[in-house]
Amino acid sequence: MERAERRGTARPERAAGRRVAPRPERRPTRGWGRAGATLVAAALLAFVCGVTAPAPASAQNHSPATQATNTQAASPQATSATGTSAATRRAGASVPVASRITLETVAGATRFSLDVSAEPRYRAFVVDGPPRLVVDFDAIDFDVADAPAAAGAVTAFRFGALTGTEGRIVFDLDGPALLSRHVFLPSIAGRPGRLVFDIVPVNATRFGYAAVSATAEAEDAPEPAHGAPGSRVVVIDPGHGGIDPGASAHDGALEKDIVLAFAERLARHLRTIPGLTVRLTREDDSFLSLSRRISLARAYGANLFISIHADAAPQDYVHGATVYTLSERPSDAQAAAIAARENLSDSVSGAIEPNHQEEVSGILADLLRRETKAFSHSFAERLISALAPGVDMNSNPHRSARFRVLMAHDIPSVLFELGYLTNTADFERLSDTAWQDAVSVAAAAAVADFFGLDPPIGTDWLAERIRAENQQ
């Protein structure tokens, strides 16, 4: 230990790759042991989450020397996580070197700047409870002689090596905040390059969405829906989009374009209903993962989620609109096949997300899940009743299967298949704007019926239904 201190830094046990034996025994250990592994796991967890023991008073200025214990921030001679010194790694001339940090408030933002010898590869994300901003670098050496005190939205920050040449910066935030800008400014006139992060305050809803979406950029986190007090929020989800075209017709028409056009019509009719706030998960030709669609619905405060699709079938005689609800056991083989196909949507992007289900335990959560399922089923039946008088329905119009996009345990959700692009009659109807308008009006009427609101402008469906019920 004394030799390590003379070199300028303490040798961390994790860097050495083995547990240091107690001095009195004078024997090398044969392994980590359960206690040692537990301590190391706790240390790693503390670093990832940004939770450390209270620092001494001298650490308040974020000196790299005092940071070394908790984050392994390297001095010029510091030992890395693999036992290789920073100077040795820099000799390879392949790892960017961070030499200076500045932290200041600029025009409503907190600006963190890092002088680096070359442009690093990195990703940023936020973590809640408490709010933190994390920046992970694929390769970086921290050779910072003096670091500034916290400022603005940043109450404290830590930096250092992770494994090998990888590095991390963790910012403790005084409240929800995201990145409004991050940019690398290349070296000019002998000055080093600079990596700049602008951190701005946001509301809790946007921060929460960013946290579950593993992002830190303000532009990726939607503004929450601001409806009148007591208003209901309906989220319309046009399926597929971007690099995921969905099904296609014989003439090359794509599902992603057809369902977006229909979703926009449906949204227009829904907005004529007093007491409703309407949001779309996408309003252009952009790709969204299935889990992100659910995250958007939650961020918008959805009371009802409707995912719009148009299908294809090997047999061209299969036709008609279908409404699907969530079920662990599919209602039939066709529903199971469609769910399997829709659940592969994320694979088009090249990054398949884990096939994780909403894991909620406890009696109350169980009751919530059952209640949501009942509400989903209720809306599905209302939607079918509204569509049936004027829409060609499938022979089995209400089906169920394990659709990932319907897995929000707290939001009533349905998947509405408009028809089959592989059926000539269905495709002609789907391409007809008058048909789209009539169907969207009927669907909007079903939404109004579900929430007990006045029907949308342009339909008398609910009035006729009420009159018929009164005559019985």
Instruction: Look at 58-72, 131-145, 339-353 and tell me which has the smallest mean pLDDT.
Output: 58-72
How does residue 49 score in pLDDT terms, banded at 50, 70 and 90? very low
Condensed to tens digits (0 to 9), the pLDDT of residues 401-439 reads 999 999 888 899 999 999 999 999 999 999 999 999 999
How does residue 471 score in pLDDT terms, banded at 50, 70 and 90? low
Query: What does the pLDDT average to over 320-340?
Result: 89
Report the distance separating Cα 251 and Cα 31, nearest Å: 66
311 dihedral zone (left: phi>0; alpha: psi -120 to 50; beta): beta
Condensed to tens digits (0 to 9), the pLDDT of residues 50-67 reads 433 333 333 333 433 333
The per-residue pLDDT for 189 is 85
Query: What does the pLDDT average to over 237-258?
Result: 93
How does residue 105 score in pLDDT terms, banded at 50, 70 and 90? very high
The per-residue pLDDT for 464 is 59
Helix extents (H) in 196-312: 204-212, 255-270, 290-299
Which of 46-50, 199-203, 351-355, 468-472 has the highest mean predicted lDDT (pLDDT)? 199-203
Distances (CA, A) of 273 to 270, 435, 459: 6, 21, 11
Bridge partners of 198, per DSSP, are 111, 181
pLDDT exceeds 70 at position 374: yes
pLDDT exceeds 90 at position 31: no
Query: What does the pLDDT average to over 224-239?
Result: 78
How does residue 46 score in pLDDT terms, banded at 50, 70 and 90? very low
Return the higher-pLDDT residue of 53 and 326. Answer: 326
The per-residue pLDDT for 291 is 83
Bridge partners of 125, per DSSP, are 134
**Cβ-based neighbours of 349, under 8 Å, separated by 6 or more:** 243, 244, 287, 289
Report the distance separating Cα 294 and Cα 422, nearest Å: 29
Average pLDDT of the residues of the chain? 77
Percent over 70 (pLDDT), the chain: 69
Domain boundaries, the chain: 59-219, 227-471
Instruction: Look at 79-93, 305-319, 329-343, 346-360 and tell me which has the smallest mean pLDDT.
Output: 79-93
Report the distance separating Cα 274 and Cα 257, nearest Å: 29
Structure tokens at 169: 């910066």
pLDDT exceeds 90 at position 216: no
The per-residue pLDDT for 226 is 53
pLDDT exceeds 90 at position 157: yes
Q: Supply the CATH classification number for the domain 59-219.
A: 2.60.40.3500
**R_g (Cα) of the chain, nearest Å:** 28
Query: What does the pLDDT average to over 68-82?
Result: 32
The per-residue pLDDT for 37 is 47
Amino acid at 26: R
Query: What does the pLDDT average to over 266-291?
Result: 91
How does residue 171 score in pLDDT terms, banded at 50, 70 and 90? very high
CATH class given for the domain over 227-471: alpha beta
The per-residue pLDDT for 412 is 95
**Cβ-based neighbours of 406, under 8 Å, separated by 6 or more:** 305, 307, 324, 325, 326, 376, 413, 414, 415
| Max CA separation in the chain (angstroms) | 96
E runs forming strands in 76-145:
97-106, 109-116, 122-127, 132-137, 141-142
Bridge partners of 112, per DSSP, are 103, 197
Instruction: Look at 102-116, 201-215, 354-368, 453-467 and tell me which has the smallest mean pLDDT.
Output: 354-368
Find where tokens 């659910």 sit.
294
The per-residue pLDDT for 323 is 97
The per-residue pLDDT for 365 is 60
The per-residue pLDDT for 190 is 83
Instruction: Look at 88-97, 211-220, 413-422 and tell me which has the smallest mean pLDDT.
Output: 88-97
- What are residue 110's phi and psi, to 5 degrees? -100, 120
Q: In 3-state terms, what secondary structure has residue 443? A: helix
Q: Are 308 and 259 in contact (CB under 8 A)?
A: yes
pLDDT exceeds 50 at position 88: no
Return the higher-pLDDT residue of 93 and 324. Answer: 324
